[in-house]
Chain A
Amino acid sequence: MQPDISIQNVSKIYADGFHALKKINLDIKRGEIFALLGPNGAGKTTLISIICGIVNLSEGRVLAAGHDIVKDYRQARSKIGLVPQELNTDAFETVWDTVAFSRGLFGKAPDPAHLEKVLRDLSLWDKRNNRIMALSGGMKRRVMIAKALSHEPQILFLDEPTAGVDVELRRDMWNMVRGLRDKGVTIILTTHYIEEAEEMADRIGVIREGEIILVEETHRLMAKLGKKELRLHLQAPLDKIPGILALEPLALSEDGYELVYTFDAQREQAGVARLLRQLGDQGIDFKDLQTRESSLEEIFVGLVNE
C-alpha cells in the first residue's frame, strides 16, 4: 500500500548553519498511529513543520497523501491537520469563529454540523460563544485540536499534545485519537510521555540529532529490547553458577551474593518458576528478590545515549 506520508532524503539546514535534519527517510502508513520520540532539539518539530509547510526543506522531498508538499502544496496541505506544541491562539475571537476560520482557510465550504460535532467531541460546545482568551489552558489546547480537525484532515499531526495537560484532557485526547484512527486518519505524534507512545502507537520512530535512528512496531520494539530482570540476593555467596543451571541466562555478581536472571518480558514466564525450583533443589537460599522490567523509556534513553 502506498504510504500516507513518504519522507525522502529530507535535510534541513537553517540560515544560521544549524543542521536540524540529516537525510531523513521515513514512510508512514495510512491509518496508523506513529509516535516520533526524541530528546529536545532532535528535530521532531522541524520535521513536522516541514511536512506541514511552515518550514522550507533544504533538500529531499515529501509526499503527503501522494502529493508533493512543495509542487502540489494545495492538495497536500488540505489533507493535513496540525496541532502545534505552543498554545498559539487568537485572543478576541470566539471559539466558533476561530474554528470556522480554520475550516475556510483550508478551503472547505462551511459545515456547521461538522463543526458542532468536533466541538461536542472535545467538550467545547458550551464554550462556543466564549472568547478564546477567557478559556483555561486546557480548553485552549482543545480549541487548537478543534481547529486542526475542522477541515476533516486525513493526516493529523500532534506535536507534544499532552505536555502540561491535565489527566482528564489526556484521557479525552487519547480517546479522540483512537476514534480518529478507527476512521482511518493517519496520526503522527510526538510526546515525552513514553508510556503513552507505548500504549497508543502502532509504530515508534526515534530521532536523534536530526537522524532517524530506529523505526519499529511498538510491540516488536518492546519484544526486542524489553528485557526483564530477576535479582536474587543469596543467603550465602556462590563461587560459580552450579552446572545444572549453566544453560540458563544467569549472571553472578563478583561478590557471589547476587544472581541476576535476564529473560524476555514478552515470553511466557515459566522460566522463573523453573529457576526457583532448581535453586531450591540445589539448596541455594535467597533472602530477597526483585524483578524489574525495562520500559520504553529506558530503551529510549539507551538509544539516544549510544
Chain B
Amino acid sequence: MNTHGIRAIYKFEMARMWRTLMQSIASPVISTCLYFVVFGSAIGSRMGDIDGISYGAFIIPGLIMLSLLMQSISNASFGIYMPKFSGTIYEVLSAPVSYVEVVIGYVGAAATKSVILGLIILITARLFVPYEILHPFWMFAFLVLTAVTFSLFGFIIGIWADGFEKLQIVPLMIVTPLVFLGGTFYSIDMLPDVWQTITLFNPVVYLISGFRWAFYGVSDVHVGISVGMTLLFLFACMAGIWWIFKTGYRLRS
C-alpha cells in the first residue's frame, strides 16, 4: 500500500479546497442560507407542519443533501478532470500507485470537503430554524455514505468529461431536478398516486428520506430501503470505476 502516495493526492486536493474557499464552501453556504430565508423563514412561517415537523425544519435534510450531492460531484469531477485537462495526469499514471489508492486519494478528499460543507450548512441552518437530530450517529453515517457515493459518481463524470461543459451537465441537468423532485420541499405523500409511484424511481428520494429519518424519525420510505438504495448506487459507482481502470477508459490508451 502506497500510503505516501494516497496522502500526497489527498493533501493536494485539500489544498485546492482551501485555495478556492469561496467557491468550495462559501457559495454553497450562501445559497443554502437563501433557501432557508425564503422557504424556511418567509414562506415556511405561513405553511402548516408536515408529518408534525415545522416546514423550515422539514426542508433542512433535503437542502443539506442538495449541497452535498452537488459539491461531492463537482469536487470529485474537477479533482480528476483538471489533471487530465492540464496534462499533469501523466505523473499519477506513471506513479507506483494502484487505482484503488488513486480513488481513495481523490474521492476521499472530495468526500471530506462535502462532509465539512454539510456540517457547516447544518450549523448555519440553526441560525434560521430550530431543529433536533434524533439519530445523530445515523445522520452522520448518511452524510458520509452519500458524500462518498456521489464523490465516486463525480470521479466517473470527471473521467468521462472531455470538456468543461460536460462537467456541468450532469449536476445541473440531472442532479438538481432529481433533488428538487426528490422530496426536498415536500413529503411524497402529498403527491397524487401516479406521481408517488414515478417518484420512487428517483434515487434521490431514498437519500433524502433516510436522511430526514435520522433527523426526525419520519420518512417517506423505510430507512432500510434508503440505506440499501444508497449502497446499491455506491457499488454501481465502484463497479464503474473498476471498469474505467481495467480498460484504461480515457486514461491510458
Question: Chain A: residues with CB nearer than 8 A to chain B?
Answer: 14-15, 52-56, 73-78, 80, 82, 84, 86, 88-93, 97, 100-110, 147
Quick one: which of A74, A90, A100 contacts B88, CB cutoff 8 A? A90
Please tell me if B96 contacts chain A, counting CB pairs below 8 Å.
yes
B252 smallest CB distance to A (angstroms)? 5
Please tell me if B95 contacts chain A, counting CB pairs below 8 Å.
yes
Contacts of A86 in B (CB 8 A): 87
- Whether B248 and A56, one on each chain, are in contact in the complex, defined by CB atoms closer than 8 angstroms, is yes
- Give the distance in Å from the alpha carbon of A158 to the alpha carbon of B161 in the complex: 30
Please tell me if B128 contacts chain A, counting CB pairs below 8 Å.
no
Contacts A89-B86, A97-B12, A108-B4 known; 15 new A-B pairs at CB < 8 A: A52-B90, A52-B93, A54-B94, A56-B248, A56-B252, A56-B253, A73-B96, A77-B95, A80-B94, A82-B91, A84-B90, A104-B4, A104-B7, A104-B11, A105-B5
- Give the distance in Å from the alpha carbon of A193 to the alpha carbon of B16 in the complex: 39
B97 smallest CB distance to A (angstroms)? 7
Q: Which of B1-59 contact A (CB under 8 A)?
A: 2, 4-5, 7-9, 11-12, 15-16, 19
- Nearest first, the 5 A-B pairs at minimum CB distance are A104-B8, A88-B87, A77-B96, A74-B96, A52-B94
Quick one: which of B8, B94, B96, B97 contacts A82, CB cutoff 8 A? B94
Quick one: which of B93, B96, B253 contacts A107, CB cutoff 8 A? B96
Quick one: which of B2, B8, B86, B253 contacts A88, CB cutoff 8 A? B86
- Give the distance in Å from the alpha carbon of A91 to the alpha carbon of B86 in the complex: 9
Contacts of A93 in B (CB 8 A): 12, 15
Quick one: which of A55, A74, A84 contacts B253, CB cutoff 8 A? A55
- Give the distance in Å from the alpha carbon of A303 to the alpha carbon of B97 in the complex: 40
- Give the distance in Å from the alpha carbon of A53 to the alpha carbon of B98 in the complex: 12
Contacts of B119 in A (CB 8 A): none
Interface code B161-178, partner A: CB below 8 Å = 1, 0 otherwise? 000000000000000000
B57 smallest CB distance to A (angstroms)? 40
Please tell me if B92 contacts chain A, counting CB pairs below 8 Å.
yes
CB-nearest residue of chain A relative to B16?
A92
- Give the distance in Å from the alpha carbon of A56 to the alpha carbon of B248 in the complex: 8
- Give the distance in Å from the alpha carbon of A106 to the alpha carbon of B7 in the complex: 11
B244 smallest CB distance to A (angstroms)? 14
B108 smallest CB distance to A (angstroms)? 15
- Whether A75 and B96, one on each chain, are in contact in the complex, defined by CB atoms closer than 8 angstroms, is yes
CB-nearest residue of chain A relative to B8?
A104
Contacts of A84 in B (CB 8 A): 87, 90
- Whether B8 and A105, one on each chain, are in contact in the complex, defined by CB atoms closer than 8 angstroms, is yes
Contacts of A74 in B (CB 8 A): 2, 96, 98
Contacts of A89 in B (CB 8 A): 86, 88
Contacts of B91 in A (CB 8 A): 82, 102, 105, 147
Q: Can you spell out 5 A-B residue pairs with CB atoms less than 8 angstroms apart?
A: A52-B93, A89-B88, A92-B19, A101-B11, A105-B91
A145 smallest CB distance to B (angstroms)? 13
- Give the distance in Å from the alpha carbon of A80 to the alpha carbon of B95 in the complex: 9
Contacts of B11 in A (CB 8 A): 101, 104
- Whether A106 and B95, one on each chain, are in contact in the complex, defined by CB atoms closer than 8 angstroms, is yes
> Assuming A56-B252, A105-B95, A106-B95, is B90 touching A82 (CB within 8 A)?
yes
- Whether B12 and A107, one on each chain, are in contact in the complex, defined by CB atoms closer than 8 angstroms, is no
Interface code B77-119, partner A: CB below 8 Å = 1, 0 otherwise? 0000000001110111111111000000000000000000000
B243 smallest CB distance to A (angstroms)? 15
Contacts of B98 in A (CB 8 A): 74
- Give the distance in Å from the alpha carbon of A90 to the alpha carbon of B87 in the complex: 9
Quick one: which of B87, B92, B248 contacts A105, CB cutoff 8 A? B92
A188 smallest CB distance to B (angstroms)? 14
- Give the distance in Å from the alpha carbon of A20 to the alpha carbon of B253 in the complex: 12
A41 smallest CB distance to B (angstroms)? 15
CB-nearest residue of chain B relative to A90?
B88
Interface code B234-253, partner A: CB below 8 Å = 1, 0 otherwise? 00000000000000100011
- Whether B4 and A107, one on each chain, are in contact in the complex, defined by CB atoms closer than 8 angstroms, is yes
Contacts of B252 in A (CB 8 A): 54-56
B187 smallest CB distance to A (angstroms)? 44
